[in-house]
């Protein structure tokens, strides 16, 4: 009896050890392992993980397909949306790259919609893509309807439906975030949405606020949240510089050290001109601005030039003013594009101009040549 108990105990120990050895060891911190199956894909072809950096696609990892499978292993600090491409297969597969184990079942006929499992973020991304596919497929049906339409009235009705679906698709990303404020993927999706130049600022802020519990979950999400918050501030500042808005007032040092405020020198029409002595296009445009100024200064035109000259280049700035006969107000801090006024006006390239009416409202931007004179003529003639 004692022998039987000993054998039974030994069997249980062996079974327990066997179960433990079958479990995968946890990965080191900030490490990812992506296991992919690629049925029908030829041995030796390569799979790539790509990132977009400064509007360029950069390859960050490569794997070779063997026996219809591939594995990526590497380090990543924060979750982010990346793409996978495979030689000889059309399209790309967007997914969430994050620490941990991820599985991908490659669909050769639809790489974009290949399922990615192993993390909640990727499961949410699968759901997002499936719903987007469902909605966008309706457009294909309308194309067939349009071909078969027999009257203009029918065609107009189909066009109206197509526009409605297109509008809904454009808004789908932000709507998904609104409906899934507890998802880490929603935060990553919001990070991609802020690059849209037509983004609805109020919707952006609303979604960002709703995602605060997600942002506060860990350091990685806090880092993404800080980036989005910074972008929101930039978008808000840019929105305040749209035509129809009151131009931000500023006070800056003149070339002689006197402090000059925009509100103190505004005329019936005012040009805020960002330029620099080193800027070739600015210098070539200066004769046109001089001609417009001479023609309209007695009718109420004022100009304030904001120099983006580099540190230590005060004499170059001063010489350019004299050489080009720029006989109007000039301010500058000799900080290049870090000039406080340039940052206030979100100026990233020059020449750049803002034309204000007598109330300080922005009526036009970035006008040069004949267009500048036509705008001033419209305001003062």
DSSP secondary structure string for all residues of 180-245: -TT-HHHHHHHHHHTT-TT--HHHHHHHHHHTHHHHTT-HHHHHHHHHHHHHHHHHHHHHTTSTTS
**Cα 139 from chain centre:** 27
Task: Give the pLDDT of residue 14.
Answer: 45
Phi, psi (deg, nearest 5) at residue 367: -90, 140
Give CA separation, 20 vs 13, 15, 23, 59, 116, in Å.
11, 9, 5, 37, 26
Give CA separation, 139 vs 112, 153, 156, 160, 167, in Å.
18, 19, 15, 12, 12
Cα–Cα nearest to 305, from 313, 293, 295, 315: 293
- Partnered with residue 252 across adjacent β-strands are 260
Asked if 267 and 358 count as a contact pair (C-beta separation under 8 A), the reply is: yes
- Partnered with residue 116 across adjacent β-strands are 104
- Tell me the three state secondary structure of residue 338: helix
Sign of CA dihedral 161, 165, 171, 175: positive
Classify residue 14 as exposed, middle or buried by CB count within 10 Å of its CB (0-12, 13-18, 19+). Answer: exposed
What DSSP designation does 337 have? G
Domains in the chain: ranges and CATH: 31-120 (2.60.40), 133-239 (no CATH), 251-380 (3.40.30.10)
pLDDT in tens, 216-272: 998 889 989 998 998 888 888 778 888 999 999 999 999 988 999 999 999 999 999
Residues 72, 135: Cα–Cα separation, whole Å:
32
Asked if 120 and 109 count as a contact pair (C-beta separation under 8 A), the reply is: no
Buried/exposed 197-224: b ≥16 CB within 10 Å, e otherwise: eebeeeebeebbebbeebbeeeebbeeb
Cα–Cα nearest to 297, from 322, 328, 276, 275: 328
User: pLDDT tens per residue, the chain (381 residues)?
Assistant: 444 554 444 444 444 544 444 467 888 888 999 999 999 888 999 999 999 887 788 999 999 999 999 999 999 988 999 999 999 899 999 999 999 999 999 998 889 999 999 999 999 999 999 999 988 888 878 888 888 888 999 899 989 998 998 888 889 999 999 999 999 999 999 999 988 878 888 999 999 999 999 999 988 899 899 989 988 888 887 788 889 999 999 999 999 889 999 999 999 999 999 999 999 999 999 999 999 999 999 999 999 999 999 999 999 999 999 999 999 999 999 999 999 999 899 899 999 999 999 999 999 999 999 999 999 999 998
CB within 8 Å of 83: residues ≥ 6 apart: 49, 50, 92, 93, 94, 95
CB within 8 Å of 341: residues ≥ 6 apart: 250, 252, 274, 306, 331, 333
Task: Give the pLDDT of residue 23.
Answer: 60
CB within 8 Å of 244: residues ≥ 6 apart: 361, 362
Task: Give the pLDDT of residue 147.
Answer: 86
pTM of the predicted model, to two decimals? 0.66
User: Strand order of the sheet with strand 100-105?
Assistant: 69-75, 31-37, 100-105, 116-117
pLDDT in tens, 38-89: 998 889 999 999 998 877 889 999 999 999 999 999 999 889 999 999 998 9
């Amino acid at each position: 009896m004692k022998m039987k108990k000993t054998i039974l105990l030994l069997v249980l120990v062996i079974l327990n050890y066997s179960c433990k050895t079958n479990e995968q060891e946890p990965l080191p911190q900030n490490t990812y392992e992506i296991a992919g199956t690629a049925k029908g894909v030829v041995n030796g072809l390569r799979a790539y993980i790509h990132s977009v950096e400064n509007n360029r696609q950069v390859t960050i990892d490569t794997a070779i397909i063997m026996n219809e499978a591939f594995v990526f292993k590497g380090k990543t600090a924060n979750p982010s949306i990346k793409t996978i491409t495979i030689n000889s297969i059309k399209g790309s597969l967007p997914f969430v790259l994050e620490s941990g184990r991820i599985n991908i079942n490659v669909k050769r006929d639809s790489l974009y919609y290949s399922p990615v499992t192993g993390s909640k973020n990727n499961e949410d991304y699968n759901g997002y893509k499936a719903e987007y596919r469902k909605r966008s497929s309706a457009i294909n049906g309308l194309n067939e309807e349009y071909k078969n339409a027999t009257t203009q009235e029918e065609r107009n009705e189909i066009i109206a439906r197509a526009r409605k679906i297109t509008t809904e698709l454009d808004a789908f990303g932000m709507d998904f975030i609104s409906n899934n404020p507890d998802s880490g993927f929603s935060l990553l999706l919001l990070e991609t949405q802020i690059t849209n130049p037509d983004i609805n600022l109020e919707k952006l802020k609303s979604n960002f606020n709703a995602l605060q519990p997600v942002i506060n979950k860990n350091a990685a999400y806090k880092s993404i949240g800080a980036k989005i918050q910074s972008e929101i501030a930039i978008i808000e500042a840019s929105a305040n510089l749209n035509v129809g808005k009151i131009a931000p007032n500023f006070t800056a040092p003149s070339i002689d050290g006197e402090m000059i405020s925009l509100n103190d020198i505004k005329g019936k029409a005012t040009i805020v001109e960002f330029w620099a002595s080193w800027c070739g296009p600015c210098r070539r445009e200066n004769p046109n601005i001089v001609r417009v100024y001479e023609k309209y200064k007695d009718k109420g035109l004022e100009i304030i030039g904001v120099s983006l000259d580099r540190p230590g280049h005060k004499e170059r700035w001063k010489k350019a003013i004299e050489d080009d006969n720029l006989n109007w107000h000039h301010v500058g801090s000799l900080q290049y594009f870090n000039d406080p006024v340039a940052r206030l006006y979100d100026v990233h390239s020059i020449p750049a101009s803002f034309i204000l009416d007598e109330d300080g409202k922005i009526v036009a931007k970035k006008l040069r040549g004949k267009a500048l004179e036509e705008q001033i003529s419209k305001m003062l003639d």
